[in-house]
Amino acid sequence: MSFATTKDGVQIFYKDWGPKEAQPIVFHHGWPLSADDWDNQMLFFVAKGFRVIAHDRRGHGRSSQVSEGHDMDHYAADASAVAEHLNLKNAIHVGHSTGGGEVARYVAQFGQTQGRVAKAALISSVPPLMVKTPTNPGGTPVEVFDGFRTALAANRAQFYIDVPSGPFYGYNRPGAKPVQGTIQNWWRQGMMGSAKAHYEGIKAFSETDQTADLKAITVPTLVLQGDDDQVVPYENAAVLQDKLLAHSELKIYKGYSHGMHTENADAINADLLAFIQK
């Protein structure tokens, strides 16, 4: 197993596949998952000749289950530790959901200043701000996130069945055909991580204002989201990201769920590849 060590001593697990001289694509996973959530994309892009890297966020997957640092600043710094450890250059950073917030902060605060980033992609991502506030009236009420915390603390194992069985992949929609393996894999990844990291991560992904991060990004950025995303409403996420980013390309998919990179991997992979090859 491969690990990078952060400045505060946290061991961050990562996968690193493909030719070391090839252009790297770095994948950043969503809450409360792991690098394994990108298996489809990793296999697809390594077969196309890219070097593919994915890491487990602190407190998630195989990384250290530390007590502190479950916030967007540490997430971005940890991603930077992996990029520096591997000396990645000319990289494309791809983030899903919370991982999209991690990408935005990493690119804005580390990747661009270090000259390591070529492009970025935000998929069903949380920026600029999820929670409803007086200045963000289209956001999700904090009571929804309080409900997440209550459910996680009461019975995390059951909560991690309910989320993928319902809104995450749109399996609660009429006519949907739930894939049991997908649900079980979501549960498996979630239960590998730390309950404390996941509990505190809810605040990180819902209450971190990343407007400034998006405005600071100058590299070309692809923004992808489904219009049936029940976790991160697209009109308060992808649409606003596109407006705040300097050089963005926006695509909204009709009927796609929050977990569209899994449910609709062929379409997402093709669009990522086309963007990367431009």
pLDDT at 269 over 90: yes
* DSSP letter assigned to residue 131: B
Q: What is the structure's pLDDT at 35?
A: 98
Q: Considering the chain, what percentage of its residues have pLDDT values greater than 70?
A: 100
For 50-107, the pLDDT digits (tens) are 999 999 999 999 999 999 999 999 999 999 999 999 999 999 999 999 999 999 999 9
Angle between helices 180-192 and 142-165 in degrees, nearest 10: 130
pLDDT of residue 1: 84
Residue spans per domain, the chain: 2-276
Fold of 2-276: Rossmann fold (3.40.50)
Q: Are 101 and 72 in contact (CB under 8 A)?
A: yes
Question: What are the residue numbers of the active site?
Answer: 97, 229, 258
- pTM, to two decimals: 0.98
Q: Across the strands, what pairs with 253? A: 226
